[in-house]
Chain A
Amino acid sequence: MAKRITATDVAAYYGGFKAIDGVSLTIEPKSVTALIGPSGCGKSTFLRTLNRMHEVIPGARVEGKVLLDSEDLYGVGVDAVAVRRTIGMVFQRPNPFPTMSIYDNVAAGLKLNGIKGKQTLDEAVERSLRGANLWNEVKDRLSKPGAGLSGGQQQRLCIARAIAVEPQVLLMDEPCSALDPISTLAIEDLMTDLKDRFTIVIVTHNMQQAARVSDRTGFFSLEATGEPGRLIEIDDTSTIFSNPSEKRTEDYITGRFG
């Protein structure tokens, strides 16, 4: 169920401002791909073009091609809602639905897409919570509000919510930046588990994290403020961190820049 993403010459705009330009890369199935780079280089923007969340912002648009296996996500007649169901997303800050219980938060994606039946939902909720390593902590209080959990638990709840709809790709936009080291570790372990089933793309500011969890790493950068961000290089994580082919990557990784 994990699929390959191939982006070709992707450019993204916010109104008249070009945020990223000419990004072409391949994301391998059943692996973790990390995107690193300085602030404002467009890595989050690129991530959001992969499940058509970029265009949700008024005035934002995307050019180029993004293939999921062989299907163009921006092709004529492709439903953005269906794309997002196939490619899930976890955000920087945990954002459980405040009016819903833990159970309902996890079941939200299924319920809102019209899937009914208590048994189906019960199974999906347990499977997703187990998948997010949260089941044991919350199984006795599934009817309590999701907002009552700790930050790290909330983020794992959001991951459970995202994987409950059985996506093929999971995009994570700095999922640990609002969390403490222990919760971060829990999420990193989780990513390693999840990559058996999903294709994972993670944007992170933390290079150690990229080195720890990812199989491949892409480095984004921009020439100057106001210029669009570009993909500088993408390679196996070990290569990027030990022997990058681009000088700028090396400068960034060794802390000489950014």
Chain B
Amino acid sequence: MTTLTALRPTRSVSTAALYGLGTVSVLAALGLVRGAGSSSTALTVVVTGLAYLLLAFALVLAVEGRRAAVDRTFTNLAWGSFLLALVPLVSVIALVVKNGSRRFDANFLTHSLRGIGPRDSNGGAYHAILGTLEQVGLASLIAIPLGLLAAIYVVEHGRGWLVSAVRFVTDVMTGVPSIVAGLFVFTFWVLALGRGFSGFAASLALAILMLPTVVRTTEVVLGLVPDSLREASLALGVSRWKMVLRVVLPTAASGITTGIVLAIARVTGETAPLLLTALNFDSINSNPFKGQQAGLPSFVFAQAGQPQQAAVDRAWAGALTLLLLVLLLNLVARLIARRTRLKD
């Protein structure tokens, strides 16, 4: 008969033993890979991982038993997958930071490309940063209120076929390739209405891309707000719109903020629609409503297409700027979301 004390492992593998096992795995992997005549780091890492997985299983099996060994193996697998998933993220960031920092300086941030040839080592992205901020800012001004209101309609007020219609259209819009949005604005706004290329045309295209993301995420988050809160406010004799504004939206605020930031981050890096709507420009154009305008993605695209190293360096610095911009946006949004929450 098994008792509970009999089920408790009497011996356990110490952390030091696991570290030892790790060292053994590295050595074994090095020996195996070198022995096979390869010097690939990636291969060594993979073999180390597999060796550790097997050795840890064997050791824990011998000392603690089968259940603990299986548990240990799955924990290791989970950790391994986590590290594997980090590889592309970290390597992209590392590469952008490494290559981007060569030209990421005050000059880069404060000067445009006016009169700068591809061979010149100075020149910057000020005009492109300005353009991106204006284009994305205007796109947000269009898409965020529209998206929020649409989501509120769907969740709080909508009945019947119109709700399904809104859902269907947002689903379809989510799948629209960005270049199609660009083409649409190009043919409709730039050509048919004859408004010409402008930063605002780019904003329109970006807004089309943002809208479904904002609607969808807001819809999901609003759906998570418990109905009991809605009932509580209605039972206090509060009108529906005030209930939404003062109870439902604040409760969902941090989730909505995350959704909006994701939507903004997504369109900040869009290149294709910019090329069809704002074109690109070497000089500063602070008016988004008139004339072609640069944006960071189109700046990076144009510079990266040049064969000269100076231009390629500018492209990397532009990419780094874009990355930092999105990061900054994320931080700001999180701060806002935190401020709206109560402290315990």
Q: Report which A residues bind B (CB closer than 8 A).
A: 51, 53, 56, 58, 81-86, 88-89, 91, 93, 95, 97-101, 108-109, 111-113, 144-145, 148, 158, 161-162, 165
* Cα-based distance from A162 to B231 in the complex (angstroms): 12
* Cα-based distance from A108 to B246 in the complex (angstroms): 9
Interchain Cβ contacts under 8 Å between A and B, 5 examples: A53-B231, A53-B234, A53-B235, A91-B235, A97-B247
Q: How far is the CB of A131 from chain B (nearest CB, A)?
A: 15
* Cα-based distance from A76 to B119 in the complex (angstroms): 80
Taking CB atoms, residues of chain B closer than 8 Å to A101 are: 342
Taking CB atoms, residues of chain A closer than 8 Å to B77 are: none
Contact of B226 among A53, A81, A95, A145 (CB under 8 A): A95
Binds A, one of B103-111, B237-245, B260-268, B272-280: B237-245
Q: How far is the CB of A65 from chain B (nearest CB, A)?
A: 21
Question: For residue B238, which residue of chain A has the nearest CB?
Answer: A112
Q: How far is the CB of B240 from chain A (nearest CB, A)?
A: 8
> Which residues of chain B in 249-263 are interfacial with respect to chain A, using CB atoms and an 8 Å cutoff?
250-251, 253
Taking CB atoms, residues of chain A closer than 8 Å to B253 are: 99
* Cα-based distance from A158 to B340 in the complex (angstroms): 22
Known contacts A95-B229, A99-B341; is A84 also within 8 Å of B234 by CB? Answer: yes
Q: How far is the CB of A258 from chain B (nearest CB, A)?
A: 27
Taking CB atoms, residues of chain B closer than 8 Å to A93 are: 228
Question: For residue A171, which residue of chain B has the nearest CB?
Answer: B235
Taking CB atoms, residues of chain A closer than 8 Å to B243 are: 112
- Taking a contact as CB atoms under 8 Å apart, the answer to whether B234 and A108 are in contact is no
| Count of chain B residues near A, Cβ 8 A | 26
Question: For residue B237, which residue of chain A has the nearest CB?
Answer: A85
Q: Report which B residues bind A (CB closer than 8 A).
A: 159, 226, 228-239, 242-243, 246-247, 250-251, 253, 340-344
Known contacts A58-B159, A91-B228, A95-B226; is A51 also within 8 Å of B340 by CB? Answer: no
- Additional pairs, 15, CB under 8 Å, beyond known A86-B237, A113-B236, A144-B344: A56-B230, A56-B234, A81-B238, A83-B237, A95-B232, A97-B233, A98-B229, A98-B251, A99-B250, A109-B237, A112-B233, A112-B236, A112-B243, A145-B342, A145-B343
Contact of A91 among B159, B231, B343 (CB under 8 A): B231
Known contacts A53-B231, A99-B340; is A108 also within 8 Å of B251 by CB? Answer: no
* Cα-based distance from A53 to B238 in the complex (angstroms): 12
Q: 9 nearest interchain CB pairs?
A: A85-B237, A109-B236, A89-B235, A95-B228, A84-B237, A99-B250, A145-B342, A112-B238, A95-B232
Q: How far is the CB of A134 from chain B (nearest CB, A)?
A: 17
Question: For residue A114, which residue of chain B has the nearest CB?
Answer: B242
- Taking a contact as CB atoms under 8 Å apart, the answer to whether A84 and B344 are in contact is no
Contact of B235 among A58, A100, A145, A162 (CB under 8 A): A162
Taking CB atoms, residues of chain A closer than 8 Å to B159 are: 58
Question: For residue B235, which residue of chain A has the nearest CB?
Answer: A89
